[in-house]
Amino acid sequence: MNELTSFKFVKEYVYPSGSVYVLYNQTNDFYIETTSMQDVDTRNKSQEVITTDDPELIKQCLVPKEEKWLIAISTQFGCPQKCRFCLVPTLGFQGNLSRNQMWEQLEYVFSQNPEITHSQKIKVGFARMGEPQYNWQNVLAVMRDMKSYRDGFRFLPCYNTILPKVKVEGKGPLEVIIDEVMPVKELLDGFMHIQISVNSTNEDERKFLFGGADVATLKEIQSAFNGLPNSNRLITLNFICGAGWELDPKKLEGLDPNVFCIKITPLNITERTTANNLSDAIGWNWERMEKFKQSISSCGLRIITDVAAKAELPLCCGNLVQDYKRHNP
Ligand code: SF4
């Protein structure tokens, strides 16, 4: 299936490290985003690369897709959550995508890159639009199919969730991870990433940032997953570094270092973050990011930093559908 069937291609936004495709579904009268990017290798010149306005500099640092290919697909038409730091809620919500509609996005990306016949690591974030908890059965079906999809293509699917406390098909978010996601991870020989969006060590602040949603608390995450046999990859707890958001290493101390690691990233500033009075604590400053890392190193968990290049700021989820709709009312 190389042709789009349930979607129509409407626009490609091209950035130095890849493209964002805006696709339209007529049945739901809804636009989604799918991305195909390359990793930017910042070794040795981190500060220069993350702040440059020169696309050529970014292009010189791109990791070949055969080594690592970064794709993000949408799993829902919009999102039912209302996270204050995310633009997707401004687009509305029209339900789940089917497993075929998720594969259609992947096939579309592959059809736009026919020269790539093999890749050691196709990292697929099920995270462009949508919260997987609402659609876990279809998300996991797609991940299972990845095992035998095509010779030479090795997938690294990423289950990205805020763990909203809603039961879907009889299961809450922690049960879904333990009973359903972990077995798929085993099937894929541990080659799967689980990322939990945490963002603050203060539960009241977390609730505020997640737009009032009830999400699994850090303590609940700890007691559900500590000691879990976890082959290959650690569960990543993501912290966006917003100005003033609490990141207290003491509150991370009970988390099992054989199960969890921490990722810190800057906050992407958008119309919505500005409207919600949220600001970033990093400001594309690598040294500041390293200081953040140092400040929580006593927690005993591995800490990863992830800073996107400033030139690619418009890439954040939902921004380009919003841009397309603004220019094509
Ligand atoms: S961050 Fe994820 S869960 Fe929250 S509104 Fe955006 S797409 Fe939905």
Measure 193 CA to ligand 1 centroid, in angstroms: 18
pLDDT digits (tens, 9 = 90+) for 130-148: 999 999 999 999 999 999 9
Measure 64 CA to ligand 1 centroid, in angstroms: 29
Residue 74 has pLDDT above 60, yes or no: yes
Which of ligand 1's atoms lies nearest the C-alpha of 129? 7
Architecture of the domain delimited by 8-327: Alpha-Beta Barrel (3.20)
Which of ligand 1's atoms lies nearest the C-alpha of 76? 7
Which of ligand 1's atoms lies nearest the C-alpha of 80? 8
CA distances from 251 to 112, 117, 248 (A): 45, 46, 6
pLDDT of res. 313 = 67
Q: CB under 6 Å to ligand 1: residues?
A: 79, 81, 83, 86, 88-89, 129-131, 162, 317
Q: Where do the structural domains in the chain lie, given as residue ranges?
A: 8-327
pLDDT digits (tens, 9 = 90+) for 184-240: 999 999 999 999 999 999 999 999 999 999 999 999 999 999 999 877 799 999 999
Q: Which residue has the higher pLDDT, 282 or 102?
A: 102
Q: What's this model's pTM, rounded to 2 decimal places?
A: 0.94
Average pLDDT over residues 96-114: 97
pLDDT of res. 325 = 84
Q: 55 and 311 in contact (C-beta within 8 Å)?
A: yes
pLDDT digits (tens, 9 = 90+) for 244-296: 999 999 999 999 999 999 999 889 888 889 999 999 998 878 888 888 899 99
